[in-house]
């Protein structure tokens, strides 16, 4: 499940590794068929991934080996006593093509809802639309670690030294937050809000569309998720706080948006501050690992907008939405956007030149403009067509020197449109 921008794969060697011990003949249903005596190993640890945690081990296993007639030939359930060792179990299978469905750490409710409470000899249900529901901020317990799933096919032959494997993928994505304080003040973390994330069921087995974004059941819902920092940790200027980790449903942002992060903090124990940022990601797959290094600076973007509306017309405005800043102008004609970088702590404006700013279009089309906007002398000037509809998506970045040797690049997403 590889993804374009930010992705590290976690493969779990359930590794239902099948290795042949010997072969024998068995009479099944009155007809003589070849059956193969197999041993499978369950490796409870992830396959050497440095980002895996102890929560990402196999505690409970559920396997279905399904024959070419879609009948469950073998069902295997294991509740492992220890997650620190390998387990070995034997099974006998007839020769031929098999499909194996593997699940780890599913709850009894997940199993029932997916129709997996079946026995050997039964028909395997169609799992293409089977779903499972997880709560964002998922926390592993002593009985149920991070849920995993996958399926694969293999062919059993009447010969020795056959090996087959299935890799189980986490059904959730993992986010880890690391913070550095460059505000000049002591900062206390209260909570961080991530929006939008999936709040309804997701598919039991991995599903992706052509651009590797996750596929969701019909009428899936999204909302924000709030991660509360326990005991409100505080850290001084120059300090770091690392390894805040949680698990979320795979999610995607509609309409070309990005995930929005809103961090709520206290400065010097009393002044409340809200800091909004965007991740530059539009989807998170199950099994993704997203480390977010968040640098708290003493800066915020402010924009002044001007236009020339008719008498009685509405003035231009700037709003901060989940997908970025929206500069909205009343009708067509010339407009001006003046970006400013201010200090959060005192509201003062940082002196900058054009060389400090970068202004680019993300959209290939600029057809809403009579005059395409450009940055000059600290102002972004352009002109909108009177008939323009839709919005132009832009990026605006600024380089600011935070110390004698460190320059930070702060990037923002901005839309230009008219009422």
Same domain flag for 59 and 165: yes
Closest to 13 (Cα-Cα) out of 40, 49, 45: 45
Same domain flag for 216 and 326: no
Q: Which residues of 107-134 are buried (b: 16+ CB within 10 A; e: fewer)?
A: beebbebbebeeeeeeebbebeebbbeb
Same domain flag for 250 and 359: no
pLDDT surpasses 80 at 8: no
Closest to 363 (Cα-Cα) out of 322, 320, 395: 395
Residue 267 lies in a domain: yes
Looking at the 3D structure of the chain, how many domains does it have? 3
Same domain flag for 231 and 129: no
User: Measured between alpha carbons, how far is 344 from 347 in angstroms, rounded to an integer?
Assistant: 6
pTM for the structure as a whole: 0.81
Relative to beta strand 234-235, strand 391-401 is unpaired
Residue 326 lies in a domain: yes
Q: Return the number of other C-beta atoms located less than 10 Å from residue 17's C-beta.
A: 17
Give the tens place of pLDDT for each residue, 149-175. Answer: 999 998 888 877 777 778 888 999 999
Segment 312-335 mean pLDDT:
84
The two structure tokens encoding residue 332:
């067509």
Same domain flag for 286 and 311: no
Residue 2 lies in a domain: no
Q: Domain end: 273, 299, 325, which one?
A: 299
CATH at residue 93 = 2.60.40
What is the per-residue pLDDT for 173? 93
Same domain flag for 294 and 340: no
pLDDT surpasses 60 at 414: yes
Same domain flag for 253 and 331: no
Same domain flag for 313 and 330: yes
DSSP type of residue 204:
S
User: Measured between alpha carbons, how far is 314 from 267 in angstroms, rounded to an integer?
Assistant: 37
Segment 258-271 mean pLDDT:
90
User: Measured between alpha carbons, how far is 181 from 186 in angstroms, rounded to an integer?
Assistant: 8
Same domain flag for 159 and 294: no
Same domain flag for 339 and 275: no
Residue 4 lies in a domain: no
Residues 6+ away with beta carbon under 8 Å from 333: 307, 308, 383, 384, 386
User: Measured between alpha carbons, how far is 10 from 289 in angstroms, rounded to an integer?
Assistant: 8
Closest to 98 (Cα-Cα) out of 35, 28, 48: 35
How many Å separate Cα 101 from the centre of its chain?
24
Banded pLDDT at 252 (limits 50, 70, 90): very high
Closest to 103 (Cα-Cα) out of 149, 35, 50: 149
Residue 312 lies in a domain: yes
Residue 10 lies in a domain: no
Residue 378 lies in a domain: yes
Q: Domain end: 258, 273, 299, which one?
A: 299
First to last CA, the chain: 41
Residue 117 lies in a domain: yes
Q: Domain end: 262, 279, 299, which one?
A: 299
What is the per-residue pLDDT for 23? 30
> Among the listed ranges 83-97, 255-269, 362-376, 391-405, which one has the minimum average pLDDT value?
83-97
Give the tens place of pLDDT for each residue, 343-376. Answer: 988 889 999 999 999 998 877 667 899 999 999 9
Q: In whole numbers, what is the pLDDT of the chain averaged over residues?
A: 83
Same domain flag for 322 and 194: no
pLDDT surpasses 50 at 340: yes
Q: Which residues of 378-400 are buried (b: 16+ CB within 10 A; e: fewer)?
A: eebbbbbeeebeebbbbebebeb
How many Å separate Cα 282 from the centre of its chain?
9
Domain hosting residue 281, numbered range: 184-299
Same domain flag for 142 and 123: yes
């Amino acid at each position: 499940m590889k993804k374009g921008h930010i992705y590290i794969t976690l493969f779990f060697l359930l590794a239902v590794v099948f290795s042949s011990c010997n072969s024998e003949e068995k009479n099944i249903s009155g007809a003589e068929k070849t059956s193969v005596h197999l041993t499978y190993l369950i490796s409870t640890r992830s396959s050497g991934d440095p980002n895996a945690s102890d929560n990402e081990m196999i505690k409970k296993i559920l396997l279905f080996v399904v024959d070419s007639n879609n009948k469950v030939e073998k069902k295997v359930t294991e509740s492992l006593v220890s997650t620190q060792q390998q387990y070995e179990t034997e099974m006998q299978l007839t020769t031929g093509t098999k499909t194996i469905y593997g699940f780890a750490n599913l709850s009894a409710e997940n199993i029932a809802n997916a129709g997996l409470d079946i026995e050997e000899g039964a028909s395997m249900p169609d799992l293409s639309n089977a779903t499972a529901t997880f709560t964002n901020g998922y926390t592993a317990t002593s009985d149920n670690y991070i849920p995993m799933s996958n399926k694969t096919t293999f062919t059993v032959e009447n010969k020795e030294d056959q090996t087959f494997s299935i890799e189980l993928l986490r059904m959730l994505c993992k986010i880890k937050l690391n913070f550095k304080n460059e505000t000049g003040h002591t900062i206390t973390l209260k909570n961080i809000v991530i929006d939008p994330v999936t709040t309804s069921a997701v598919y039991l087995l991995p599903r992706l569309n052509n651009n590797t974004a996750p596929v969701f059941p019909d009428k899936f819902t999204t909302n924000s998720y709030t991660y509360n920092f326990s005991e409100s940790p505080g850290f001084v200027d120059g300090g770091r706080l690392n390894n805040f980790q949680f698990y979320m449903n795979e999610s995607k942002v509609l309409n070309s948006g990005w995930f929005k992060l809103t961090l709520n903090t206290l400065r010097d124990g009393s002044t409340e501050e809200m800091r909004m940022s965007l991740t530059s990601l539009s989807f998170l797959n199950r099994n993704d690992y997203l480390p977010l290094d968040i640098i708290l600076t003493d800066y915020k973007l402010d924009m002044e907008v001007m236009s020339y509306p008719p008498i009685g017309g509405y003035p231009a405005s700037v709003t901060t939405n989940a997908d970025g800043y929206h500069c909205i102008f009343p009708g067509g004609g010339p407009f001006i956007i003046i970006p400013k970088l201010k200090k959060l702590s005192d509201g003062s404006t940082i002196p900058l030149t054009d060389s400090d700013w970068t202004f680019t279009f993300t959209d290939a089309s600029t057809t809403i403009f009579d005059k395409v906007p450009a940055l000059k002398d600290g102002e972004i000037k352009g002109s909108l067509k009177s008939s323009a509809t839709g919005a132009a998506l832009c990026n605006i970045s600024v380089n600011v020197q935070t110390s004698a040797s460190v320059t930070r690049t702060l990037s923002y997403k901005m839309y230009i449109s008219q009422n």
